[in-house]
Amino acid sequence: MKHDELKKKAMDIQNVKAEYEALEPEFTFLRAMLSARQKAGLTQADIAERMGTKPPAITRLESSLTSGKHSPSLATLKKYAQALGYHLEIRLVQN
């Protein structure tokens, strides 16, 4: 079974669909991080050097947003953004 077929089948299950949709903010943020890194032409090793850490830490950071195993601190996200030449902006938006 292909990924798209599996995803479509899983989305037919109400609990799965709700959980998937609840993760959308994290996926959106991760896509923005990866897009910014790609646009800057930087590797994880480049970011790690600019942040004063090691490449595996950047791999963990980028994967943490989808794994749910770890929530990076705001300070870490701020350093990541600065390493890309960006700044981190956080807002509260009423539903």
| pLDDT for res 9 | 81
Rounded CA-CA distance 40/26 in Å is 21
Q: pTM of this prediction?
A: 0.77
Identify the CA nearest to 83 among candidates 93, 63, 6, 57: 57
- How much of the chain exceeds pLDDT 90, in percent? 49
Q: Tell me the per-residue pLDDT of 17-56, one tens digit each, with 9 for 90 and over.
A: 888 787 888 888 889 999 999 999 999 999 999 999 999 9
Domains of the chain with CATH codes: 27-84 (1.10.260.40)
Contact 66, 27 (CB under 8 A): yes
| pLDDT for res 50 | 97
- Checking if the pLDDT of 68 tops 70, the result is no
